[in-house]
Structure 1
Amino acid sequence: MIIELSSESNSGPATTDIIRHGEIVSYHLAPLGSNYTFVVKIEMDGNESQAIYKPREGEAPL
């Protein structure tokens, strides 16, 4: 499950497209997150966004 955290632009449809269809280019554990909660950087067509990734039960972490 990915939930938007922040973006260089607004949180409109373009940001949603980046999160849904972009490529994860880097990630790290969220400092105050529970087990296997990651901050991910996603890029698509020269645009980027950050999001929180938390694997669902039964899903393998990154």
Structure 2
Amino acid sequence: MKRLIRNICIGILALLVLSFLLALVIALISMWTWGMWYVVVALIVGILALIGVASLGDA
């Protein structure tokens, strides 16, 4: 039961992160500056690293 609740929370967080990234990408495409792309790549890498750490902690 606890695991199910945690999975739901992770799913909600993932959706929030994805919608945030989508909004960011749309904003960036309209501005299109290279400096901003580096920020986005850093954010994505950071998020992937967090997800990796979270899944490792689960195992």
Taking structure 1 as the reference length, what is the TM-score of the superposition? Answer: 0.23
More strand by share: 1
Q: Which has the larger radius of gyration?
A: 2
Taking structure 2 as the reference length, what is the TM-score of the superposition? Answer: 0.24
